[in-house]
């Protein structure tokens, strides 16, 4: 008797590559191709790269990001941001991002970036956003022509240690009918609580705009509590430390604290990034990542890449690692994917269309392929 192909694990990597994916937490400046960094550094005169060899540079980013510290992890971005200070560079990076995600099987992605970080070369915030959107449009067209149609929504990020969040929030509203779908704050969490940016969040709520907040990655439960209860976040960027509010009772069963129960009951999406969380010390290993427990408890968990360059990763790789660590089958991967699509910042009918027309049919087809393979296996 052949087992249900939807529960078979680990899922073969070639099927995971073909599976439709939804990505909610991906940083534009954290996913630049190493070869592109080298070329842009040469074009712009940036001389600070640790290596001019693309392969060695990619390995350097991965090694440097394995610091066990969010603050040290963030320091690697100095190089990618430094080469993204011209119109052509910004447009190219956005275009290549769309193409790369399409090849990885991503059908919908929300890619975030901080416009204020790209004004050192004389560009203003509007120019940075315009070039990014143009690059994504070009990349989506290229991906579709290559047989990898993808839709990308942009999140405008404000740096939590700076003071431009209100300006960036207004730009998110200004551009929301031109490809921007939401707002975010990012950067070092300790010492920079989200409540420092209440004006921005209050403005966004008045404007019926969507926003997510990096919380519960480098700092604990207070960061999550403020992001939800004070700032009104629609989603939590990472949110991995919510497990600090879950204990194991005398009977060996998990007991949710008030905050964890609220997050689960309200279906607040958690944008989890397993490999990145291990690198920054938010999780000890993939096998010990809280995503396993949170999935069992029914939290609205999603799988994300965070920074593909720094983690040397893709959505295919993240799903493969989780399938191997937790025994996830195609049913589980579909559950994560539908969770993410439900949690996207585009209109409900558009989310539903992608779920019904792209995600569910593709997973049904993959299960059929796997079932055929299983029946062909020798006893």
Task: List residues with catalytic annotation.
Answer: 217
Q: Are the CB atoms for 169 and 213 separated by under 8 Å?
A: no
Q: Are the CB atoms for 238 and 289 separated by under 8 Å?
A: no
Kindly report whether the peptide bond that precedes residue 142 is cis, defined as omega within 30 degrees of 0. Answer: no
- Tell whether the torsion through CA atoms of 76, 78, 157 and 93 is positive or negative: negative
List alpha helices for the chain, DSSP H: 13-18, 34-44, 54-65, 70-75, 77-82, 87-103, 125-145, 165-174, 198-206, 221-225, 258-265, 274-279, 291-296, 308-311, 315-326, 330-342, 348-354, 360-376
Contacts of 249 (CB under 8 A, 6+ apart): 255
Classified as helix, coil or strand, 236 is strand
Four-CA torsion 159, 163, 167, 172, nearest 10 degrees: 20
Contacts of 148 (CB under 8 A, 6+ apart): 99, 102, 103, 105
CA-to-CA dists, residue 226 to 6, 70, 216, 246, 264, angstroms: 39, 19, 10, 18, 16
Q: How far is Cα 92 from Cα 177, in angstroms, rounded to an integer?
A: 22
Strands 246-248, 254-256: pairing is antiparallel
Strands 270-272, 235-238: pairing is parallel
């Amino acid at each position: 008797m052949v087992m249900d192909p939807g529960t078979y694990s680990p899922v073969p990597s070639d099927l995971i590559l073909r599976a439709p994916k939804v990505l909610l937490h991906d940083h534009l400046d954290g996913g630049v191709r190493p070869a592109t960094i080298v070329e842009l550094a040469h074009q712009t005169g940036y001389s600070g790269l640790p290596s001019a060899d693309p392969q060695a540079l990619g390995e350097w980013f991965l090694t440097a990001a394995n610091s066990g510290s969010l603050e040290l992890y963030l320091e690697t971005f100095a190089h990618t941001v430094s080469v993204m200070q011209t119109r052509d560079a910004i447009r190219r990076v956005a275009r290549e991002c769309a193409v790369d995600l399409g090849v990885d099987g991503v059908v919908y992605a929300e890619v975030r970036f901080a416009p204020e970080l790209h004004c050192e070369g004389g560009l203003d915030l509007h120019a940075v956003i315009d070039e990014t959107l143009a690059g994504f449009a070009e990349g989506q067209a290229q991906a579709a022509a290559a047989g990898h149609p993808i839709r990308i929504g942009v999140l405008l990020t404000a740096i939590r240690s700076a003071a431009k969040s209100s300006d960036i929030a207004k730009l998110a509203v200004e551009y929301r009918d031109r490809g921007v779908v939401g707002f975010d704050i990012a950067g070092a969490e300790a010492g920079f609580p989200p409540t420092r940016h209440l004006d921005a969040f209050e403005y966004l709520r008045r404007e019926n705009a969507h926003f997510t907040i990096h919380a519960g990655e480098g700092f604990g439960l207070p960061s999550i509590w403020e992001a939800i209860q004070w700032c009104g976040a629609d989603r939590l960027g990472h949110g991995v430390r919510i497990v600090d509010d879950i204990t194991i009772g005398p009977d060996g069963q998990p007991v949710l604290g008030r905050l964890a129960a609220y997050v689960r009951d309200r279906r607040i999406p958690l944008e989890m990034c397993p490999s990145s969380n291990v690198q920054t010390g938010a999780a000890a290993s993939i096998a010990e990542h809280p995503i396993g427990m949170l999935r069992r408890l029914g939290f609205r968990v999603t799988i994300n890449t965070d920074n593909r360059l720094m983690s040397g990763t893709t959505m295919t790789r993240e799903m493969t690692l989780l399938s191997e660590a937790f025994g996830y089958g195609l049913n589980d991967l579909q559950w994560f994917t539908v969770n993410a699509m439900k949690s996207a910042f585009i209109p409900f009918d558009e989310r539903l269309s992608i779920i019904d027309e792209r995600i569910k049919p593709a997973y049904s087809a993959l299960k059929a392929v796997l079932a055929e393979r299983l029946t062909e296996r020798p006893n």
